[in-house]
């Protein structure tokens, strides 16, 4: 957690941060994102404080985000999105008919926040979890940590470059 502090604090001029979000394709797939108006959706339903903090305090418009299919066959990074809007209140927390309703989140003081994500580049080939695990230089990546469940997480720039290269069907090195 402390290792991620620099993803949460103030940023240098022109700094662009890199992230990864998970989505179960049966709930919301990369193709579903591409089908959205302007290829953009609000990233609602995040109900984990650490993930929320990354969206609220770490993400800014223009940051780049890997879109990962979890609980998929195979699990894989599908492409790159960009943050299209800074964090704002997640309205689904206020709706008692919504599965993500949270009675403790009030409009005057919202607990849960979301950003907007816009699809930017579908990878030439999905970068599967086995491909990621095969890459020694990705050994420290949060996604690959045993038991890692964070649905919104920072990505180191060096890791970012490797994943994108794999997705563009080149070689990692």
Question: Which residues contribute to the site for DNA (CB under 7 A)?
Answer: 22, 24, 48-50, 70-72, 75, 129-130, 133, 145-151
DSSP for 42-76 reads E------HHHHHIIIII--TT-EEEEEE-SSSS-E
Report angle CA 168, 145, 156 to the nearest 5 degrees: 50
CB of 14 vs DNA, minimal distance in Å: 31
Burial (CB count <10 Å: 0-12, 13-18, 19+), residue 97: exposed
Give the CB-side neighbour count of residue 90, counting CA atoms within 13 A. Answer: 26
Q: How far is the CB of 26 from DNA (least distance, A)?
A: 12
Residue 9 in tokens = 């604090």
Minimum separation from the CB atom of position 152 to DNA (A)? 9
By C-beta, is 112 or 160 nearer to DNA?
Answer: 112
Between residues 22 and 159, which has the closer beta carbon with respect to DNA? 22
Residue closer to DNA by CB (options 41, 151) is: 151
Shortest Å distance, C-beta 12 to DNA: 28
CB of 15 to DNA, least distance (A): 26
Strand partners, 128: 76
1/13 with CB nearer DNA:
1
**β-sheet bridge partners, residue 85:** 116
Give 29 or 50: the residue with its C-beta nearer to DNA. Answer: 50
CB 119 within 8 A of CB 81: yes
Do residues 133 and 144 make contact, with C-beta atoms less than 8 angstroms apart?
yes
């Amino acid at each position: 957690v402390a290792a991620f502090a620099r993803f949460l604090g103030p940023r240098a001029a022109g700094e662009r941060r890199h992230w990864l979000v998970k989505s179960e394709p049966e709930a919301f797939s990369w193709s579903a994102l591409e089908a959205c108006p302007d290829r953009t959706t609000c990233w609602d339903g995040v109900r984990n404080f650490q993930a929320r903090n990354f969206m609220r305090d770490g993400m800014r418009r223009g940051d780049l985000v890997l879109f990962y299919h979890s609980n998929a066959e195979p699990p894989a990074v599908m492409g790159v999105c960009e943050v299209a809007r800074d964090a704002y209140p997640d309205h689904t927390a206020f709706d008692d008919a919504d599965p993500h309703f949270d009675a403790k989140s009030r409009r005057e003081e919202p607990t849960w926040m979301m950003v907007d994500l816009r699809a930017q580049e579908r990878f030439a080939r999905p970068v599967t979890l086995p491909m990621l695990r095969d890459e020694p230089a990705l050994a420290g990546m949060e996604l690959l940590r045993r038991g890692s469940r964070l649905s919104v997480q920072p990505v180191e720039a060096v890791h970012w470059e490797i994943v994108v290269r794999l997705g563009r069907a080149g070689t990692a090195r």
